[in-house]
């Protein structure tokens, strides 16, 4: 699959998933919901890794890579997803997901600072349009 189709597939999944999260969180604490979701996902990935034979590759991962993944896990899965679940529980899922989906603006800035990625005119225009869109819906 190409990057475009993988991205498109991920976008569709991320677009549908909040509906189920909102329904599940109706009578569930966001922390408990995040625990359930994380355990389920970890179990599925562990089974998939065992079945595909890729689990053994964990031994070759450097400490530096483990630290980077741990930082990403804390920021995205722990803090970010907990904020996301709490926002979905309290607010309109359509508004929450639009605001949360503007996270690439933050990525754009930090990718420039830490990875040396170039900020192009089209990316700046896109970022401005995202900001305008978020302002319009709030």
Please give the full DSSP string across 25-74, using - where no structure is assigned.
GGGS-HHHHHHHHHHHHHHHHHHHHHHHT-GGGGGG--HHHHHHHHHHII
d(CA 55, CA 68): 19
pLDDT at 55 > cutoff 90: no
pLDDT recorded at residue 101: 86
Q: Which long-range contacts (CB under 8 A, 24 or more apart) does 24-27 make?
A: 25/85, 25/88, 25/89, 26/89
pTM: 0.81
d(CA 51, CA 118): 40
pLDDT recorded at residue 60: 87
pLDDT (average), residues 112-138: 91
pLDDT recorded at residue 2: 92
pLDDT at 137 > cutoff 90: no
pLDDT (average), residues 44-67: 90
pLDDT recorded at residue 56: 80
DSSP class of 103? T
Which residue has better confidence, 133 or 87?
87
pLDDT at 1 > cutoff 80: no
pLDDT recorded at residue 57: 83
pLDDT recorded at residue 21: 95
């Amino acid at each position: 699959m190409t990057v475009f189709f993988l991205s498109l597939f991920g976008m569709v999944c991320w677009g549908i998933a909040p509906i189920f999260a909102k329904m599940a969180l109706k009578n569930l604490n966001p922390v408990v919901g995040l625990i359930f979701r994380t355990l389920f996902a970890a179990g599925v990935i562990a089974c998939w890794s065992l079945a595909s034979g890729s689990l053994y590759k964990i031994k070759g991962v450097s400490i530096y890579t483990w630290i980077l993944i741990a930082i990403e896990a804390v920021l995205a899965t722990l803090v970010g997803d907990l904020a996301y679940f709490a926002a979905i529980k309290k607010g309109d899922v359509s508004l929450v997901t639009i605001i949360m989906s503007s996270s690439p603006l933050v990525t754009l800035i930090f990718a420039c600072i830490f990875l040396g990625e170039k900020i192009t005119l089209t990316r700046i225009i896109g970022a401005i349009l995202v900001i305008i869109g978020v302002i319009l819906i709030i």
